[in-house]
Structure 1
Amino acid sequence: MLFIPIEILLVEDDSGDVQLTKLALEESKMSVNLHVVEDGVEALALLRKEGKYANTKHPDIILLDLNLPKKDGREVLAEIKADPNLKRIPVIVLTASQAETDILNAYNLNANCYIIKPVDFDRFVKIVQSIENFWFTIVRLP
């Protein structure tokens, strides 16, 4: 049986969180292609296949931090969900913000879910693995 790698876009400017995510995904039994961009402008360029991203596959899922340079995650989320070519890609907000206004705003912008990043490595790994298990084992994606 041929396994097609899962395409994940991680939009994260914190190098420590990027490394934690990579380590968590390495524990996976699934084949994953992780694409990492550090700001909202790069995320949208990748999603729109602009410039150096012309041959990049669309991600199966997006892990999006809210607090990003250049264009923050709220703006990125709004643009993704307003674009008919991108709006079906599940967006998981994975952020440190616990603010109720951020949570409500993310769901109002049609985020698929909102997860607060734990500071503990083991909990972070479990969350990333839970995301992977739910979205790629249980859920049927378009």
Structure 2
Amino acid sequence: MTDVLLVEDHDADVLLVREAVASFEQKVRLHVVRDGLAALWFLRRQGDYARCPSVQLVLLDSSMPRMNACEVLRELRTDEATRDVPVVVFSSSARPRDVHACTEAGANGYVVKPVDLASFMDVVQGLLKDWLRASR
């Protein structure tokens, strides 16, 4: 079983990612948190997240409450316990400055969320396939 953390505050995107994971070729357990601070607690196993598993991939929305993707990434990359966790920013923004900021902060990848359902499913499953294969 592969564990993936989705950091996303929009219910519709959470539902779409759940659908993509459910029909994925490999067993994936998707964990969802709604903001950047909760993502840090989950990955560091703090507070209510003390018993959470290690994850093989984080899909991180770029703009969330409490902490945005760049803030989360900077925290993760300075912490020895989370420094090497693969993080792909999954964003609705295609602006080059946003891509650059996330890459500079330590993102392993940056993907723009497609607007149509079929493409969204394909992109999520492609991310899972590529990153989970690389983590083996």
TM-score bracket for the superposition, by shorter chain length: over 0.9
Match of 2:115, SS state, is coil
The Cα RMSD (Å) is: 1.0
What TM-score, normalized to structure 1? 0.92
Structure 1 runs (4+) greater than 2 angstroms displaced: none
Q: Structure 2 stretches of 5 or more lacking a match?
A: none
The 5 A counterparts of 1:28-43 are 28-43=24-39
Per the alignment, residue 120 of structure 1 pairs with 116
CA contact (8 A) 2:73 2:105 kept: yes
In the alignment, is residue 12 of structure 1 matched against residue 17 of structure 2? no
Residue by residue over 1:57-85, the C-alpha shift from the partner in whole angstroms, topping out at 9 and shown as x without a partner, is 12111000110001111100111111111
CA contact (8 A) 2:7 2:59 kept: yes
Per the alignment, residue 52 of structure 1 pairs with 48
Cα distance in structure 2, aligned partners of 1:71 and 1:136: 26
What TM-score, normalized to structure 2? 0.96
Cα distance in structure 1, aligned partners of 2:56 and 2:47: 21
Count matched residues.
136
Q: Structure 1 stretches of 5 or more lacking a match?
A: none
Percent of paired sites with the same residue: 35
In the alignment, is residue 88 of structure 1 matched against residue 79 of structure 2? no
Residue by residue over 1:104-127, the C-alpha shift from the partner in whole angstroms, topping out at 9 and shown as x without a partner, is 111111211100000101000000
